[in-house]
Amino acid sequence: MSDRKIIVTGGAGFIGANFVHHMVGRGWHVITLDALTYAGNRANVASLDGDPQHSFIHGSITDGALIDTLLAEHSPRAIVNFAAESHVDRSIDGPKDFIDTNIVGVYTLLESIRAYYIESARANSETAFRFLHVSTDEVYGSIETGEFTENSPYSPNSPYAASKASADHLVHAWQKTFGIPAIVTNCTNNYGPFQFPEKLIPLMITKALAEQPLPIYGNGLQVRDWVHVEDHCRALSMVLEHGIPGETYIVGGNASRQNLEVVRHICDILDRLRPRTSGKPYTELIEHVTDRPAHDTRYAVDSAKIQAEIGWRPEYDFKSGIEQTVNWYLDNEDWIDVVREKYDGRRLGRTGHRGSGT
Ligand code: NAD
Ligand code: DAU
């Protein structure tokens, strides 16, 4: 087994790409496997081209033969799985891809790992293999007061959340039944560089820069807990090294905000850094639109376990993290233009209708 070599699936997406850069920067050898869906962007890891510590494979986690080959060729220390369909609105518009990748893809990974790890002598090797499955707090559903913990019951509401919950159950079952050394992390909303501009924060930045309406679903009072993607990546690398197979770790940002508050905050930063030629504030572009069906009202998590057992805590506060993120999008308008080609022509967000919650 290669002690410092890992396979990162979904490594051309938002969090995956940040993780690939994080791990290469820490001296790991990374093999990125990505199907390059609309959300995957080869350019996100292109700066590592030619680096002997990194290689890129174009392929799907649903391709069991490919996974078998990669495991046999590289004998990695771990597979870290980010590959997924990740956007709730798309799962409402068309759930099938979510079933294929998020459930069948994870099943395929687990079966390849079972063949590679369990049905060989590797289970006894001194350096322990790990399957680190990156999941979401959305599996727990919505919570009115208090916080989710690792012991909270699963109660997913969207097709996306249900597909992620299904995958988590498969991972837990394969760990218990077959002894796959798997760990699951359930993280809150990420933000930061490379996030595809269909998600709230980059959508609002890119729409504001294009002088387009900023669509707030319903009354905009829904609450999300925001973690900077670099903090999430650091949590994952620490869990990879110190986490215990069979365990679940919740990762939270300690930064709960209502959606409207987040959008107004972004507008205020843009007013300062890139004032509109009209002189009007960006908040003037805010428009309440029809709510997302089964919209989860509030996510909130308790990260006490990962803090106590792994020693991780978030380092970014939301104010500095969002300022850095807005600056990144302002500095990378070429990147926005490239990904815009992938989403122009498709309805983004649930725009076009005045919502009832204004
Ligand atoms: P993303 O949509 O930006 O990236 C997903 C990546 O997976 C893309 O590069 C895509 O090409 C790739 N992919 C899709 N289907 C694939 C397949 N069949 N085989 C190989 N690659 C495939 O997603 P993200 O926001 O970076 O999320 C990454 C993971 O983290 C997901 O599993 C998501 O559920 C989880 N997560 C995300 C957040 C968040 O706030 N974004 C929070 C918690 C957990
Ligand atoms: O909690 C973790 C999850 O966070 C991840 O598992 C998902 O992959 C990720 O997409 C994210 O899910 P959300 O649904 O919370 O993220 P999104 O950015 O789509 O929406 C954040 C909030 O903003 C949500 O309450 C819906 C609202 N929203 C979103 C969009 C795109 C709007 O009001 N207007 C919008 O246009």
DSSP 245-310: TT-EEEE--S-EEEHHHHHHHHHHHHHHHS--TT---GGGGEEEEPPPTT---B--B--HHHHHHT
Q: What digits encode the pLDDT tens for the residues 274-284?
A: 999 999 999 99
Q: What digits encode the pLDDT tens for the residues 106-143?
A: 999 999 999 998 766 565 555 589 999 999 999 999 99
pLDDT at 345 (0 to 100): 47
Of the pLDDT bands very low, low, confident and very high (cuts 50, 70, 90), residue 190 is: very high
User: With a 6 A CB cut-off, is 136 part of the ligand 2 pocket?
Assistant: yes
Average pLDDT over residues 285-309: 98
User: With a 6 A CB cut-off, is 101 part of the ligand 1 pocket?
Assistant: yes
Beta strands in 300-354 (DSSP E): none
Of the pLDDT bands very low, low, confident and very high (cuts 50, 70, 90), residue 347 is: very low
Average pLDDT over residues 289-296: 98
Domain at 5-195+226-254+297-316: CATH architecture: 3-Layer(aba) Sandwich (3.40)
Average pLDDT over residues 176-180: 94
Backbone angles phi, psi at 248, to 5 degrees: -115, 140
Cα-to-centroid distance, 304 and ligand 2 (Å): 24
The closest-lying atom of ligand 2 relative to the alpha carbon of residue 351 is 36
Q: What's the chain's average pLDDT?
A: 93
User: With a 6 A CB cut-off, is 203 part of the ligand 2 pocket?
Assistant: yes
- Residues in a beta bridge with 136: 187
For residue 282, what are its two tokens?
């960006």
The closest-lying atom of ligand 1 relative to the alpha carbon of residue 138 is 43
pLDDT at 117 (0 to 100): 83
pLDDT at 342 (0 to 100): 78
pLDDT at 121 (0 to 100): 57
Atom 1 (ligand 1): residue with closest C-alpha? 13
Residue with tokens 């994952």: 236
Average pLDDT over residues 200-222: 97
User: With a 6 A CB cut-off, is 12 part of the ligand 1 pocket?
Assistant: yes
**143-147, 269-273, 347-351: segment of lowest average pLDDT:** 347-351
User: What residues are annotated to the active site?
Assistant: 137-138, 160
Cα-to-centroid distance, 13 and ligand 1 (Å): 6
User: With a 6 A CB cut-off, is 235 part of the ligand 2 pocket?
Assistant: no
Q: What digits encode the pLDDT tens for the residues 79-101?
A: 999 999 999 999 999 999 999 99
Complete DSSP assignment for 155-188: ---SHHHHHHHHHHHHHHHHHHHH---EEEEEE-
Give percent above pLDDT 90 in the chain: 89
The closest-lying atom of ligand 1 relative to the alpha carbon of residue 37 is 11
Cα-to-centroid distance, 308 and ligand 2 (Å): 29
Mutate to test the pocket of ligand 2, among 155, 184, 199 (most ligand atoms within 8 A of CB): 199
Cα-to-centroid distance, 113 and ligand 2 (Å): 32
Mutate to test the pocket of ligand 1, among 36, 86, 89, 195 (most ligand atoms within 8 A of CB): 86
**248-252, 279-283, 333-337: segment of lowest average pLDDT:** 333-337
pTM, two decimal places: 0.96
Cα-to-centroid distance, 199 and ligand 2 (Å): 6
Average pLDDT over residues 296-324: 98
Domain boundaries, the chain: 5-195+226-254+297-316
